[in-house]
Structure 1
């Protein structure tokens, strides 16, 4: 049976868990790692002198951010040895922080851990630089510089054209239908000339090891895939926002889930992000 102290810790922590998990996920790009970090923060919260903590959310956000910074040091090595292209775990249906889209998360991967933390805490979660400074243990002026540097690097990855959600989901539904039926005329009409495909199989399922670039190469791949879809099947599970982009979840012929997210500009698909790594899809089950 949990004691009174544990129940008190849980009662103050549990309402904050979703927000803390969002911070950790934005930092790490991994659902499982984010949940582990938040659970470690809860263990530390149980051991803390909670009567001395004036603002629990700020205390816990600092704890989570610092744990993430430690984790990112080892994550860098894991990214370098990862098989094929690395994409963040797909979050389906989450409409918070829709401006933190999948392309922006990939851009964040190119930042130093401190730049990433300063940018997310200030630009995404709205903290002032004094609080950012207390969180990452740097002075406010340094935090301003870190966030400014990050902003310069990620500017191109911020959404330039807002796609109305309903219109985006209509395009995602049409994309699924054309790609699975083999209607290459309808499929090609949706693509921009510089369209690209990014797929993450993690060495567990077949996926292109490098991005596939350009209209002709994307069309060629999907002509081949249409034959496989016809033979083995591909069932639509749901459409929705995936990391802030219109997309869909499918059950593929091998019995595994897959997510497809579409970056859309001026009504055309400019990038296709396909998650096939079963380890990164477990939370969707």
Structure 2
């Protein structure tokens, strides 16, 4: 069982800001990163799905890592999403992220082609062998179409640079067993499971909702670590309406986060309509108000 938190506890899967003309806005990215760290994020995931990695170029991905590293300094952990459906391209992005100043890599299961487990394992091992950076396996079968099966995960855990998992498997039993039986640090990738996974030994979370509620999400872990699970449960319950609206309303988290923070996603994603944005702001406002009441 792992007692390590290689990238901290509270990580934000950060959006990627664009200018009104649709170009990468590195100044805004740096400002947002600094604000998130000041509000309690131990680290940031850049170029993840929330960061619109499918529609940013390789050069933009590297520029974003460099700009955020410069903005936040050496303290906070920076994970770089490098996963693609192509092992060779993923390795290229891993090298690029290492040169740009990332502290670790997030590697998603190859998607669409639905490789068998032996090919999934070979993919992760090849990426882990490519650089000196620690690797987080991103297990999200609902999007990729392929689960990283527990037996595969156990074998991957034997690699010295495969150190963590971003868990969107929705299989708490399997995750709890892997936490107990391997050295892997498990980070929740689904906000509704942040506290349950943490309670069975998880390392923390990598959260889209943290873009707009970093203090409120971190407070849940702080209360649990302070030995007050009832307070952690109360604080967690306050976050659930916003998490549900942002992540389970039929819109991608990128769209809902940008509806609250401002800015538009790149196509094919479209901005939230006014009614949706107003609803998000109302629920977010209630969370901020409720969480400020002692």
So what's the TM-score if we normalise by structure 1? 0.29
Higher helix share: 1
So what's the TM-score if we normalise by structure 2? 0.29
Pick the structure with greater CA Rg. 1
